[in-house]
Amino acid sequence: MDDTRTPARPAKVVLATRNQGKIRELSALLAPLGVTVVGLADFPDIGEIPETGDTFLENARLKARAVCQATGLVSLADDSGLCVDALSGAPGVYSARYAGENASDAANNAKLLAALAHVPQSARTCRFVSVVVAAGPDGRELAAEGAWEGRVAESPSGEGGFGYDPLFFDPTAGQTAAELTPAEKNARSHRGKALAALVAAWPGFWERR
């Protein structure tokens, strides 16, 4: 695919993440666009982008704009997290660093289970939220949001996915996110819904003048 064609329909998109789990999911969900998808591993000079926003939208915008400015290419950023009702929406935008900076998935999951140790199943309702933002060199931005309702399980289950997937129980599926196949997860997940909305709006958005 020729990357030099008119910017009305971007030929290449940079994903503003080094998270391999996110890259796999986002690449699969962007497949209908027929664009070349690369991650930040292709741009080693781009350092960590501070997520200083108070909302998922603010953080996604910060990342998309920073990577777009650094590469000169359309950049797509996802900011997502788990919002637990019994914890007043926590860990929320701090999901990736709930147990501290550079915390492992296991550490974050352990802290979440400890915080909910005395909370009954009926009160462990939660949702995954994802906001995706595509930023273009001409200043245009396209944003979309998705949510996935569920409950926090009492113990991890499943080998797939990443992050809080082993603890996120989907009552409709009767499984945790980590027990679903990638295709099953993408069909119902917060990120899948956000990307579906973005993909639907994509052609008309970039062709607008």
> Binding site for substrate: what residues are annotated?
17-22, 80, 162-165, 185, 190-191
195: its two tokens: 């990307």
CB-count burial class (<10 Å; 0-12, 13-18, 19+) for 81: buried
Neighbour order of strands in the sheet with 74-84:
36-38, 12-15, 74-84, 125-135, 141-152, 168-170, 175-176
Q: Report the SS3 class of residue 79.
A: strand
Beta bridge partners, 129, equal 81, 147
Q: Are 28 and 182 in contact (CB under 8 A)?
A: yes
Q: Are 144 and 75 in contact (CB under 8 A)?
A: no
Q: Is 105 a catalytic residue?
A: no
Q: Are β-strands 125-135 and 74-84 bridged in parallel, bridged antiparallel, or unpaired?
A: antiparallel
C-alpha 174/C-alpha 74 separation (Å) is 38
Candidates 2, 3, 78, 79; catalytic one = 79
Residues classed as catalytic? 79
